[in-house]
Amino acid sequence: MSQGTVRRHAAPHRGRPRIAVVVLTQGTRPADLRRGIDSVLAQRDVDLDVVCVGNGWEPTDLPEGVRALALPENLGIPAGRNAGAEVVDGDHVFFLDDDAWVPSDTFLRDAVELLDRDPSLGLVQPRVVDPTGAANPRRWVPRIRKGDAADSSPVFSVWEGAVVLPMDVYRAVGGWGAEYFYAHEGIELAWRVWDAGRRAWYAGDLVANHPAIDPARHTEYYRLNARNRVWLARRNLPAPLRPLYVGSWAAIQVARWWRHPARLRTWFAGAREGWTSDCGPTRTMGWLTVARMTLAGRPPVV
């Protein structure tokens, strides 16, 4: 196990679960933000400590019981989440983006009960559904073999818009990778949960809602996608696996975009940046973690 290994506590909660909630927003979707916050405040049988983090914005007109944390500039998605987690208290922490919401008023209680029933779990991502009936993007199911979205399984990356962790696990893994700014921080979080001796879990029987909007892909996205892919390897993988991981993804990008040379040029420029720039602090996973991930279905080279 790595230095971040977390002791497993199987004892159930004696009282109401205490849940810290971090809602992240840039203030550009006020109606969506209110919908998400209201879905949190509607949760039953839990005690909540809720903060709304304004990433480069000061949240206003928040409901009673929700505090505001204004960051003077946009620090990026993972750093914004980390900032919120520093000012809330609870035995578990729930991260919610401002365009997501939870339809069940027992969502948080059910997520905590799942974590309590199986102390090997250190992170839960729900199934993501567009309630309008639009086709749900396959990327919302973080598995190579997508299968039925309602099926639960261990996973090695997460859709970051709605995630629940025990607070001690969140602290042990060092939170979200602030250096990424955007893209791949959910992969690192899942890897570090595995390296802490737990499993990241996709819960097909828990649901979060989110509109099925195809995200815009632009030059900055392709650059950060590649740079952060390399950073992910450098920050987390044993040295022999780093070129294998980056090489496998380079092959995937070529197969996807061979008809789009401009995208590939941007991607490979980002990859070069990833190898030459400062990736921030590293926490190399142990070979036992590599073995556990491999046996669970996904060696960290793909």
Q: Write the DSSP string, 37-82.
A: HHHHHT--S-EEEEEEEEETS---SPPTTEEEEEESS---HHHHHH
- Quick one: pLDDT at residue 223? 93
Q: How far apart are the first and last CA of the chain?
A: 22
What DSSP character marks residue 240? Answer: G
- Quick one: pLDDT at residue 219? 83
pLDDT tens track for 90-146: 999 999 999 999 999 999 999 999 999 999 999 999 999 999 999 999 999 999 999
Residue 286 has pLDDT above 90, yes or no: yes
Torsion of CA 65, 13, 191, 179, to 10 degrees: 30
pTM of the model: 0.93
As a whole number of angstroms, the distance between CA 21 and CA 88 comes to 7
As a whole number of angstroms, the distance between CA 230 and CA 218 comes to 19
As a whole number of angstroms, the distance between CA 98 and CA 162 comes to 10
- Quick one: pLDDT at residue 12? 46
| DSSP per-residue codes, 105-156 | TTHHHHHHHHHHH-TTEEEEEEEEE-TT-PPPPGGGS-SSS---TT--EEES
